[in-house]
Amino acid sequence: GAGVSQSPSNKVTEKGKDVELRCDPISGHTALYWYRQSLGQGLEFLIYFQGNSAPDKSGLPSDRFSAERTGGSVSTLTIQRTQQEDSAVYLCASSPEGASGGRPSYNEQFFGPGTRLTVL
């Protein structure tokens, strides 16, 4: 079946410009995570959506970052006034978290290929 998709795969932008990154999760997955990963580094959690609950934004590094998830499916991560330190691979993951036969699956996260953001 279709996995998590992200677009664009690569984005080069100039410092100060806004960018939007898109994530299409696996159909039926109620949870959606955004992470970013700098070169050679681990995952940095950004934001978490679960169903209709208020998102957990505790990982967003500044108020220039925001995300929304429309209709419980597609999500968009927006970075305003991009800075060079925003350059990273932005990864989206979805998880069934209870949608898989009633057994909670909170830690089975399925990742997209990522968007490589380069801020010049």
Partner 1 sequence: DAKTTQPTSMDCAEGRAANLPCNHSTISGNEYVYWYRQIHSQGPQYIIHGLKNNETNEMASLIITEDRKSSTLILPHATLRDTAVYYCIVRATFSGSARQLTFGSGTQLTVLP
Overall residue count recorded for the chain in this entry: 120
Residue of 95, 91, 93 whose CA lies nearest to 108: 95
- x/- mask, partner 1, residues 50-79, rule CB under 8 A, reads x-----x-xx--------------------
DSSP string covering 22-39: EEEPPTT--EEEEEEE-T
**Beta carbon nearer to partner 1, 19 or 34:** 34
**10-39 residues near partner 1, rule: CB under 8 A:** 33, 35
Contacts with partner 1, residue ranges (CB under 8 A): 33, 35, 42-43, 45, 48, 50, 56, 58-59, 89, 91, 93, 95, 98, 104, 106-114
